[in-house]
Structure 1
C-alpha cells in the first residue's frame, strides 16, 4: 500500500474524504480533505500520522483564524503554506502567507500591473503575513470552456494577453529548460515514491541545446488563471506568484496541455482543441522559433501534470496519465 493510499484510508477512518495531496521535500503530504460536514479543510500526513485542521485554523498562519472570525470564507488552504480567504463583501480576497513570503507576492503584482495590455488584481493592503487584493472582473477561460461559446474571441484575447505579459521588463529570477526539467523530475520522483505511479523520466531533448526567446513568464499559466471581462478589451491574469524569466514556449505549452486535459475531463469538445490552440498561438504571434520549442515543454508539462493528478484521487487521475500516454496535440 502506497503512502497516499495509507493517508486515504486514515482520512476515511477519521470521517473525511481525501481530495488532493501536495508532496513536500521532507516526505510530508499536505492534504485537502472534505470532512463529515461536507466542508473542505486542510490536513497533513507525516510518519503515518494524520492531522486534520479545524476549518479556518492553522497555527502557522494565525491571520487565517482572524479573517474567518470576521466572516471570511476560506477558498483555499494548504497547511502551514498559504490560504486564500474571500471577504464577506465579495469584493476582496486575502492571501495568508508565512512571514517573509508576502513582499515578493505583493511586489510582483504591483509591477505586473504596470504592464500594458493585461489586468491583474489590485493590491489593496499588505501586512507582514497577508496580501489583500481587489476583485478582478471577468469570467475564466475554464468557465467559458464549459459553456462552449465565444471560444475564438476568448482565445484571441488570451493569446494577446500572454504576449503582453511576456513583453514585461520586470527583473525576476531565471527559469530555463534545465530548471523546468528539475521541477518535473521532483514531481515524478514524488509520484513514484508516495503514490506508486511510474511515469517517464524527463530528459534533455536532443534539440534542447538551443533556446527560444527569453521573456517574462507566469510559470503556472492555465485556463483558470485567465479571465475576460464583459468589454472584451483585455484579459486578466491571476496568481503571478511564480514570475520568472525564461522561454515563451513554457507558458504557451502549459496552457495548451491544460486544454488537452480539459478534453480528457469532458469539458472541451475534442474537435475544438486544435482550433483553440491555433487561435491562441496566432494571436500571440508565435513565430517558428517559439513553435519549435513547444513540443519540448509540452512533454514536460504532460509528465508533471500526470504526477500532480496522481495525488488527486477525487479528480480523475486517469485523465492526467492519459496526457502522457495519448497526447492530443502535436506540440
Structure 2
C-alpha cells in the first residue's frame, strides 16, 4: 500500500482518550474483494499522525483520484468500480455502450507513460487513464489468444493481475471458464483448486481441465451449475420461506468448509490481517477525499479495539475469506418449505449476530464474484438444492465468525442497494445463521462491523454506491444504542 498506514495505526486520526491499540506485526498479503485478484502489495511505514487541523485541510485539498467517467473518440466510458493500488494508482472497470473495458488510472504522468509504452494494441491513453480493451495486457500475454476463440466472452479483467473468459459450449451455457493469470501464479492457483477438492469430503468441486497451459498462465475450470444467491434474491420471485431454506443450505455448506482439516492449509488470517485489509481500502479512500477522515478514525478505533480485545483462537476453521451472495450458487430451485421456519429461526442467532438490524452492507467483493474457479456442492437441506461455492482463492485458517459476518453484511448491502426486499434479507440471514450455527455471536458482531468498515472503502470506489459507502461508515462510527 503505497504511502499507506501501518497496522499499528490503521486509520486516519487517533483516539483522544488513550494511546490506542498495541502495535500489530506486518500482515500477510491482502486479498481483493468481490472474486478477486491476488494479493495486494504490503503497507509501507506511515507518516507521523497529523493534527486535526491538518486532517481537515487534507480533506479540502484531496489528492488526485480516479475519474467517474471519460470520453475517447466520441465514446463515453463510465467507471463502474476501481481497485486502488495505493494512493497514486488504481485498476478500473469501465463500461461503454454495454461493453466492459479494463483500464488503469495513474496520478503520476511518468508512471502512466511507462505503462502505456509496454501495453499492446489496442490500448490507448485518455487523460490520466490507460484504456485496455479487448484483453490488451502486457503482463497477461496469453489473454488475446484465449479471446480469439469464436464466442469467447471476457467476463472480468484486472490489468496485470487476472482475467476470466467464458468459453462457448454447444448450447447457451459456457463449456468452461478460462482464468488467465501471470505464469508465475498459475501453479499455485492450480494447487489451491486441487486442495479444495481434497479438503472437503463429499463435496463436488470444479476440476482443472485438460487443455490448461500453466506455463502460459491459462487455467481451464469446469462450470459450476446453478445461479448465485444474489441473482435469485434480486429476481423478486423468492418468498421468505424459500430464501430461508436456500441460505440455510448455504450455511451448512459453509460449515463443511470450516470443518475441513486445518493442517492442510498453510495460510493464516487473523484479526491483525483483517485490520490491514481494511486499511488497504481506507487509506487511499481518505487520501482521495472519498470518505470523511474523522468518521474513519472513529470507526477504525472501534473496530480495532473490538477485534484485538478478543484474539479468538477457539473457533477456528478453514475460511473462504470473501464469502457473500455472489460466491454461493444454488443448482436447483428451492421448493417452499415450512413458512414458519424463516420467522422462528431468527429469534436467537439472527438477533445475536448483528444486533437484529438489516440495514446497509457493501460488497467485497473483499470483492468479486459470480464467475470463478472453484465450487462446493452439497449441504442437503430439505427444500434446497445443491449449493455451489466459487472463488476460494484466499483459503486460510482463521476465525469462522469472519466468513459468517461477511455474508450477513452483504445481505444488508443488497437491501440498501434495493436488490433484496427487507423480508427476504431478514429470512436469508436467519437461514444462514441456522445453517452455519456460529458458537460466538458476539464475535460475529465484531467482524460484522469490520466488514462494514472495509466495504465502506470498497464502495467508495464505486461511484454509483458512494452514498451507501457513507452510510456504512456512519453505522460503524456512530452506532445507535
TM-score by length of 1: 0.90
Deviation sequence 1:151-195 (CA, Å, 0-9, x none): 122011101000001111232310011110111122111211134
Return the alpha-carbon distance in structure 2 between the equivalents of residues 211 and 281 of structure 1.
Answer: 20
Paired position in structure 2 for 1:278: 430
Paired position in structure 2 for 1:66: 145
Q: Does 1:322 align with 2:444?
A: no
Shift of the alpha carbon at 1:70?
A: 1.3
Shift of the alpha carbon at 1:300?
A: 0.8
Paired position in structure 2 for 1:88: 168
Q: Does 1:27 align with 2:88?
A: yes
Shift of the alpha carbon at 1:7?
A: 2.7
Of 137-146 and 243-252, the range deviating more from structure 2: 137-146
Q: Is the 8 A contact 1:187 1:308 kept in 2?
A: yes
Closer, same or farther: CA 158–274 of 1 in aligned 2, 3 Å: same
Task: Tell me the secondary structure at the aligned position of residue 168 of structure 2.
Answer: coil
Return the alpha-carbon distance in structure 1 between the equivalents of residues 189 and 394 of structure 2.
Answer: 9
> Higher RCO, 1 or 2 (CA under 8 Å, sep at least 6)?
2
Deviation sequence 1:272-324 (CA, Å, 0-9, x none): 3333212211212222xx3221111111100111100011113x222233233
Task: Tell me the secondary structure at the aligned position of residue 183 of structure 2.
Answer: coil
Return the alpha-carbon distance in structure 2 between the equivalents of residues 163 and 63 of structure 1.
Answer: 37
Of 25-34 and 194-203, the range deviating more from structure 2: 194-203
Pick the aligned partner of 1:238 from 364, 367, 390.
Answer: 390
Q: Which has the higher Rg, Structure 1 or Structure 2?
A: 2
Shift of the alpha carbon at 1:267?
A: 1.6
Pick the aligned partner of 2:159 from 79, 87, 91.
Answer: 79
Closer, same or farther: CA 6–191 of 1 in aligned 2, 3 Å: closer
Shift of the alpha carbon at 1:28?
A: 0.9
Q: Is the 8 A contact 2:82 2:92 kept in 1?
A: yes
Shift of the alpha carbon at 1:38?
A: 3.5
Pick the aligned partner of 1:191 from 285, 300, 318.
Answer: 285
List runs of 5+ in structure 1 lacking aligned partners: none
Pick the aligned partner of 2:246 from 148, 154, 170.
Answer: 154
Paired position in structure 2 for 1:142: 230
Return the alpha-carbon distance in structure 1 between the equivalents of residues 444 and 408 of structure 2.
Answer: 9
Q: Does 1:43 align with 2:103?
A: yes
TM-score by length of 2: 0.63
Task: Tell me the secondary structure at the aligned position of residue 131 of structure 1.
Answer: strand
Of 127-136 and 217-226, the range deviating more from structure 2: 127-136
- The runs of 4+ residues in structure 1 deviating greater than 6 Å are none
Pick the aligned partner of 1:214 from 316, 319, 326.
Answer: 316
For residues 13-24 of structure 1, what are the structure 2 equivalents within 5 Å? 15-24=76-85
Return the alpha-carbon distance in structure 1 between the equivalents of residues 162 and 250 of structure 2.
Answer: 28
List runs of 5+ in structure 2 lacking aligned partners: 1-60, 110-127, 334-383
Return the alpha-carbon distance in structure 2 between the equivalents of residues 167 and 38 of structure 1.
Answer: 42
Paired position in structure 2 for 1:310: 460
Q: Is the 8 A contact 1:214 1:246 kept in 2?
A: yes
Pick the aligned partner of 2:134 from 21, 45, 55.
Answer: 55
Q: Does 1:204 align with 2:296?
A: no
Closer, same or farther: CA 118–29 of 1 in aligned 2, 3 Å: same
Paired position in structure 2 for 1:168: 260
Closer, same or farther: CA 246–209 of 1 in aligned 2, 3 Å: closer
Q: Is the 8 A contact 2:87 2:287 kept in 1?
A: no
Return the alpha-carbon distance in structure 1 between the equivalents of residues 328 and 391 of structure 2.
Answer: 10
